[in-house]
Structure 1
């Protein structure tokens, strides 16, 4: 595994990995969203590529772009005030959020009502959703090789809309991306992420349950695929304690290259766009932009603004370049 200093010495590699993580997130988001549709299941069973009618982005990618924009605007020196200001400028101003997550809608309502972090995140029925985890990879990008720094910034960003497991899931994902950015092995990535999840949390319980099922199956995907779904299932599919263990379980099972791991994640079912987005960001950080099929990169490069209007037409490559510039 490289150090942060090693990575900084190679600007081309910094760019390769920063763009890989951000675009990998978008690919996982879009492919997962397509894979879980009834039409794709009836036509293909397992989705391995984009068809002509595949959707673009969901709230996963577009809220990740919000996190990226916030980090870029403040030069990586993230504060609670910077996050609140960004949400007022880009989220609260909208009257509706097509495809938007319940946790983000609740946070916007709480901000309008005068609440601020951590109460804007805590006072919400949806504070344990996976909404913060899906948007947090840009933090891991700029904190490449710095797990503690990634966890600290993730808490600042996540607290506006989440609490408890919702924050810990975001920290786990940010840390995983940070370690993947410096070529950590998958066991190193997962181990680092687990250090920031309290052992008495629901998230920790489900993570260890998932890893135990994989161990009992000796890593055989066919033997543990259905048990993983059965044991991780929560009453609502966008729950951190379900989606994040699912993403890490997939990564543990299959990580030989970007495409194989991403296809498995996108086909996990339930909140497959978030599972795909998280896995895609980690795999993209690890293997870089060149490991992602070029057609997939072009498919997701320019957002549709489906959820957050400011994202329409942004160039993910340019945003990735700006995030790379913060790694110094």
Structure 2
């Protein structure tokens, strides 16, 4: 089992942080997710050498890409996280029916992008009313992981089993796969650890615990470029970029310049690095291009979801 970051010692240390600092880290995670998504979307499906030929280093918001996005426009990564957050807030907890309905409502908006596994899961819910897809060895994609931030916030301070259960509830609406579950749970725990004040060494222990449980996630040897949507490829890039960098900006630039599924690697590393470094360290030249409604909902959800969490409700944060 992965090491729990929510042990009594971690919670005791978190008491030393002000409630305001905890909330800022939660906001940093949400804004980091959106910024990473929008930055990476420009170079999604490009090879690193193509990115280099076009931009030398992709480090500014350009928009465009294969989806022909506006500068700062987000994709399904951020939109599905916000949809899940709405579902959790409506239900007051992580609930399968609320998550499935939220995803279905989102698909009705005709989103600019939607993954095949996500589309199939939502269609299954609409046709059958079932909120869990059958387990599938071929559904080890990153679609459940990219949207997991609301679960991390709403379950902050919960016990390990409850966090694991909440992870699977939202994931299995579209992705029912052991590797996807394990990788997504690790990211949830890393975000929670960063919000509680962990440093990068603490986050690396969680990544190493995932590798010990499932060696396919091993990230310390071969550099991964042009990552696919396979959860293993995605998280190898996230871990390599996160642990090789010393700032939010450098982590994001390192990840998205690997190309491939760059909006999702950007979104996932953005939520971790945003919590780790805080919103003040997200470059304004990136965040100012986010659509106002996206930015406002990200901030409001960060506060509202955190308010649902056992960590806040227990009085650990005033």
Which of 87, 96, 115 aligns to 2:103? It is 87
- Asked if 2 retains the 8 angstrom alpha-carbon contact of 1:150 and 1:178, the reply is no
Q: Show the 5 A alignment for 1:95-110.
A: 96-110=110-124
Which of 165, 170, 173 aligns to 1:160? It is 173
Q: Show the 5 A alignment for 1:89-238.
A: 89-91=105-107, 94=108, 96-114=110-128, 116-118=130-132, 120=133, 122=135, 127-144=139-156, 146=158, 148=160, 149-163=162-176, 164-193=178-207, 195=209, 199=213, 204-208=214-218, 210-211=219-220, 213=221, 227-229=222-224, 237-238=228-229
Indicate how the Cα distance of structure 1 residues 271 and 52 shifts in structure 2: closer, same or farther if over 3 A, else same: closer
- Secondary structure, counterpart of 2:292 in structure 1: coil
Indicate how the Cα distance of structure 1 residues 277 and 52 shifts in structure 2: closer, same or farther if over 3 A, else same: closer
Q: For residues 90-126 of structure 1, give each alpha carbon's deviation from its aligned partner in whole angstroms, at most 9, with x where no partner exists.
A: 33xx2844311111101112112216243x2535x86
5+ long unaligned stretches in structure 2: 65-70, 313-318
Query: What's the offset of the Cα at 1:150?
Result: 3.3
Q: For residues 182-225 of structure 1, give each alpha carbon's deviation from its aligned partner in whole angstroms, at most 9, with x where no partner exists.
A: 121223223235546783xxxx33322x22x1xxxxxxxxxxxx
- Secondary structure, counterpart of 2:308 in structure 1: coil
Q: Show the 5 A alignment for 1:1-328.
A: 3-4=10-11, 7=14, 10-36=18-44, 41-51=52-62, 54-75=71-92, 77-91=93-107, 94=108, 96-114=110-128, 116-118=130-132, 120=133, 122=135, 127-144=139-156, 146=158, 148=160, 149-163=162-176, 164-193=178-207, 195=209, 199=213, 204-208=214-218, 210-211=219-220, 213=221, 227-229=222-224, 237-254=228-245, 256-302=246-292, 315-327=297-309, 328=312
5+ long unaligned stretches in structure 1: 214-226, 304-310
**1:308 counterpart residue number:** none
Task: Provide the rounded CA distance (Å) in 2 between the counterparts of 1:47 and 1:78.
Answer: 36
Task: Provide the rounded CA distance (Å) in 2 between the counterparts of 1:276 and 1:88.
Answer: 25
- Secondary structure, counterpart of 2:145 in structure 1: helix
Indicate how the Cα distance of structure 1 residues 286 and 121 shifts in structure 2: closer, same or farther if over 3 A, else same: farther
Task: Provide the rounded CA distance (Å) in 1 between the counterparts of 2:260 and 2:158.
Answer: 32
**2:68 counterpart residue number:** none
Count of residues in Structure 1 that have an aligned counterpart in Structure 2: 291
- Asked if 1 retains the 8 angstrom alpha-carbon contact of 2:238 and 2:265, the reply is yes
Indicate how the Cα distance of structure 1 residues 259 and 145 shifts in structure 2: closer, same or farther if over 3 A, else same: farther
TM-score in terms of structure 2 length: 0.80
Query: What's the offset of the Cα at 1:79?
Result: 2.3
Query: What's the offset of the Cα at 1:42?
Result: 3.4
Query: What's the offset of the Cα at 1:40?
Result: 5.6
Task: Provide the rounded CA distance (Å) in 1 between the counterparts of 2:199 and 2:128.
Answer: 44
**1:219 counterpart residue number:** none
Query: What's the offset of the Cα at 1:44?
Result: 1.5
Task: Provide the rounded CA distance (Å) in 1 between the counterparts of 2:152 and 2:62.
Answer: 31
- Asked if 2 retains the 8 angstrom alpha-carbon contact of 1:151 and 1:196, the reply is no
Task: Provide the rounded CA distance (Å) in 1 between the counterparts of 2:63 and 2:111.
Answer: 25
